[in-house]
């Protein structure tokens, strides 16, 4: 049966339609338009969301866990809990993100996550965020800018080791954070890019010239801009200067009010603009759980309010992507339709999944978030389920 959703407005996200209609059948979108353009027939199920706004489902390309579980646990129960909480906050697709750990634990986690991504049947009929590829954060990072990643488990990048990680994931790695200044990094960046991996520069003390070499080798993105990287200097701009000034480079940011100041968030948006900025949560197992002690991989993290710390250092966040959208609206004064792009179309392009995700258009997956005009979640629909 076809289902017609109506709402006050719809964000595609490249344009906004008023008095909107979206028709879906099974798991796909069939038509998008206005009430004047699309007739709702008696054979359709009609769901009216009143003054709400229809938008593409959010895509979180950097998240370690939620609901008390870390994605590196890899178990069905852990992923079910994480994916259910994500869906409640408007996330319909995500990249389970690793953290530097002993190699045997990393390989085991990649094997389990790779199997999960390959098993679409476990999501059938359920409102749970769908994994679209693994984000490998570590072990190819700088010991000088490692944050809470265990130094003992950080490893120099080599093609042999990258191939081992790739094979363990069954080819499911879609994002890899790497420090470009490391010996061997350029070769690994080139190979990963050939395999369709979005190579993201982060946890890095790189100079500007080292960053430029990595971009020439295939790096295309920057991980949690400003955090865990060489500070901006007017004579040696470093990785951050390149990240902000290179319009061909996309970059993400943690807009939780803790990782960067409001002025820095506005600077980031002014530099990366609508098509170059991405919102991520960098959420850990504590997300949705309140204060206490939780795990990030093998690392114990203490959470108080919005701050997650291990040995005094920030260790991920408890941010959700819907809250990030609202934070950006408030801090930057951007309208909802402008901010939504940073959590939908932009990450979909980076991940190479715009044929299915990131926008509301005929033929795309029926991944839809229903929002209030202020960005609060009303309902999440994933693969047509949940309407």
Residue pLDDT, tens place only, 14-48: 999 999 999 999 999 999 999 999 999 999 999 99
Cβ-count burial of 158 within 10 angstroms (0-12 exposed, 13-18 middle, 19+ buried)?
A: middle
User: What DSSP state is assigned to residue 38?
Assistant: -
Tokens found for residue 112: 């389990």
The pLDDT assigned to 281 comes to: 98
The pLDDT assigned to 298 comes to: 87
The pLDDT assigned to 125 comes to: 79
Which of these, 229, 312, 225, lies nearest to 264 by C-alpha position? 225
Q: Which residues are catalytic?
A: 282
Which of these, 371, 367, 386, 380, lies nearest to 28 by C-alpha position? 367
The pLDDT assigned to 30 comes to: 97
Q: How far apart are CA 304 and CA 327, in angstroms?
A: 19
- Write out residues in the chain with pLDDT < 50, as ranges: none
Buried b (16+ CB within 10 A) or exposed e, 203-242: bbbbbbebbbbbbebbbbbbbbbbbbbbeeeeeebbbbbb
- Edge-to-edge strand order for the sheet containing 198-201? 134-137, 173-178, 198-201, 221-222, 250-254, 277-280
Structural domains in the chain plus CATH codes: 2-54+373-381 (2.30.40.10), 58-355 (3.20.20.140)
The pLDDT assigned to 317 comes to: 97
The pLDDT assigned to 180 comes to: 98
Cβ-count burial of 56 within 10 angstroms (0-12 exposed, 13-18 middle, 19+ buried)?
A: buried
Does the pTM exceed 0.95? Answer: yes
Residue pLDDT, tens place only, 260-305: 999 999 999 999 999 999 999 999 999 999 999 999 988 999 999 9
Reduced to 3 states, what is the DSSP secondary structure of residue 329?
Answer: helix
Q: Which residues on adjacent β-strands are paired with residue 53?
A: 9, 371
How many C-beta atoms lie closer than 10 Å to residue 300's C-beta? 12
């Amino acid at each position: 049966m076809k289902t017609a959703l109506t709402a006050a407005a719809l964000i595609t996200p490249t344009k906004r339609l008023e008095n909107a209609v979206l028709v879906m059948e099974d798991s796909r979108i069939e038509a998008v338009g206005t009430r004047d353009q699309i007739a709702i027939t008696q054979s359709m199920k009609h769901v009216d969301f009143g003054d709400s706004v229809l938008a593409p489902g959010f895509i979180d390309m950097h998240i370690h866990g939620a609901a008390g579980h870390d994605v590196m646990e890899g178990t069905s129960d852990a992923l079910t809990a994480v994916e259910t909480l994500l869906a409640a906050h408007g996330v319909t697709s995500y990249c389970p993100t690793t953290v530097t750990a002993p190699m045997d634990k990393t390989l085991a986690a990649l094997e389990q996550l790779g199997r999960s991504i390959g098993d679409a049947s476990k999501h059938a009929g359920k409102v749970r965020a769908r994994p679209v590829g693994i984000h490998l954060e570590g072990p190819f990072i700088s010991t000088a800018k490692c944050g809470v990643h265990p130094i003992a488990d950080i490893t120099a990048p080599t093609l042999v080791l990258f191939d081992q990680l790739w094979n363990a994931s069954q080819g499911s790695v879609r994002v890899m954070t790497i420090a470009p200044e490391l010996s061997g990094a350029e070769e690994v960046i080139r190979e990963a890019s050939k395999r369709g991996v979005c190579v993201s520069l982060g946890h890095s003390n790189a100079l500007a010239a080292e960053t430029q070499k990595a971009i020439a080798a295939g790096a295309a993105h920057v991980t949690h801009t400003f955090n865990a990287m060489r500070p901006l200097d007017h004579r040696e701009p470093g990785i951050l200067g390149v990240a902000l000034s290179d319009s061909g480079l996309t970059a993400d940011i943690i807009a939780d009010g803790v990782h960067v100041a409001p002025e820095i968030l506005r600077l980031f948006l002014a530099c990366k603009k609508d098509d170059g900025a991405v919102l991520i949560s960098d959420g850990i197992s504590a997300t949705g759980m309140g204060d206490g002690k939780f795990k990030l991989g093998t690392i114990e993290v203490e959470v108080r309010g919005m701050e997650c710390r291990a040995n005094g250092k920030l260790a991920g966040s408890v941010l959700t992507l819907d809250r990030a959208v609202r934070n950006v609206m408030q801090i930057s004064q951007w309208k909802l339709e402008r901010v939504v792009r940073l959590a939908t179309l932009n990450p979909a392009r980076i991940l190479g999944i715009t044929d299915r995700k990131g926008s509301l258009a005929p033929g795309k997956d029926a991944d839809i978030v229903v929002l209030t005009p202020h960005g609060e979640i009303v309902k999440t629909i994933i693969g047509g389920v949940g309407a």
